Structure 1
Amino acid sequence: MIRKARIHDAKDLHKILNGFAAQGKLLPRSLSDLYTHIREFVVWESEGTGEILGCCSLHIVWEDLAEVRSLAVVPQCQGQGIGTSLVHACLQEARELGLARIFALTYEIRFFEKLGFRITDKQVFPQKIWADCLHCTKFPDCDETAMVLDLD
């Protein structure tokens, strides 16, 4: 079941996201950062156990632009459509907000291509570069691929 994240989900999100960060697949997120941005997240909650099995965030960058980020699904549940459903939930919210474009920085190119995203140059997102990338440990040698989806 997909729902908006709640404050009490922050520690589960921290564990999931930083598990992937330890493998170099995502950037680490501090617990403080997750509390600050909890309203950006949707989660996939197991109906039977209430366990958080996946998450995704819609981060607004500019008046017409947002980023899908912090997409993660626990390893034992990957390949079941959870990630796709989480991204769709973020795209739906983006449409409701009136956003024109969504982008992602990713290693999972095929996954995002299946959702309609296309590869683009990172330089078309100067707001992202100045707001977030400058503080990243990988800057300026980012090895992620920028992908974009036009919503209008």
Structure 2
Amino acid sequence: MTMRVVVDNGPGKGRRAAGAKSRRAAKPATALRAAVSADAPALHALIAAHLEEGRLLPRTLAELADHAHRFVVAVQAERIVGCAELAPLSAAVAEVRSLVVSAEARQAGLGQRMVDELGRRGCREGFTSLCAFAHDPRFFVRLGFSIVPHTWVPEKIAHDCHSCPLFRNCGQYAIVLDLERAHAMTDAGTGAAVGNRRG
């Protein structure tokens, strides 16, 4: 037997709830696109504004201009509110870097959308693994990444870690997504995005 629970919101609460729903519905749509070199100042400002959260590494304007083509950006009302980079570490492995969403644009799934897009791009470009390094791995684990020992990503160690002053005392988790497996799940008609949650 199923019990149905009915909640009486009162005459005013229903109108307030409807108004809040209307305001959420009126929020500008957010589109994803590939970044271009002209986006470098906006990327630099977005990353710099969130450095104090302690989850991002600083990036120079020149570096961002050179590597803008690696980024996917989330655009809302012609303003960049999110970004993420697909950074090659080897012919097989790419890293998610500089993943950030503006505070006012969070809780809308933009982080997942950008990681999904990087996963699709990674598949098209022939990468077999997508990795990330984070102090809090929960976001990536929800998207199907697995926590692994750092030594499972030797490309990252060779590329960045050896020159890091915290190399022997790293507080970050290494997280990896098998792109071939994720892509096969999508091709099999499961409806799962590349970085979708595990069922």
TM-score between both structures, scaled by the size of structure 1: 0.92
Deviations along 1:72-125, one digit per CA (max 9) or x if unpaired, are 000111111111100011000011112111100013412111110010011112
1:13 to 26, 43, 67: 43
**2 CA distance for matches of 1:135 and 1:10?**
25
1:129 match: secondary structure = helix
Q: Return structure 1 stretches of 4+ with deviation > 4 angstroms.
A: none
2:149 to 121, 127, 146: 121
Identity of aligned residues (%): 35
The structure richer in strand per residue is 1
Deviations along 1:9-41, one digit per CA (max 9) or x if unpaired, are 111111111222233111111111111211110
**2 CA distance for matches of 1:21 and 1:129?**
23
Q: Which structure 2 residue ranges, 5 or more long, are not aligned?
A: 1-30, 181-199
Q: Does 1:80 align with 2:123?
A: no
Structure 2 partner of 1:135: 163
| 1:15-34 map, 5 Å | 15-34=45-64
Alignment RMSD, CA only?
Answer: 1.3
**2 CA distance for matches of 1:6 and 1:63?**
23
TM-score between both structures, scaled by the size of structure 2: 0.71
1:38 to 68, 76, 82: 68
2:97 to 55, 69, 83: 69
Please identify the structure whose Cα radius of gyration is greater: 2
Structure 2 partner of 1:148: 176
| 1:94-113 map, 5 Å | 94-113=122-141
Deviations along 1:32-64, one digit per CA (max 9) or x if unpaired, are 111121111010011xx2000100010111111
Range with bigger deviation, 64-73 or 101-110? 101-110
Measure how far apart 1:126 and its partner are.
1.7
CA contact (8 A) 2:81 2:105 kept: yes
**2 CA distance for matches of 1:140 and 1:31?**
29
1:92 to 102, 112, 120: 120
Measure how far apart 1:143 and its partner are.
1.1
**1 CA distance for matches of 2:85 and 2:56?**
13
2:78 match: secondary structure = coil
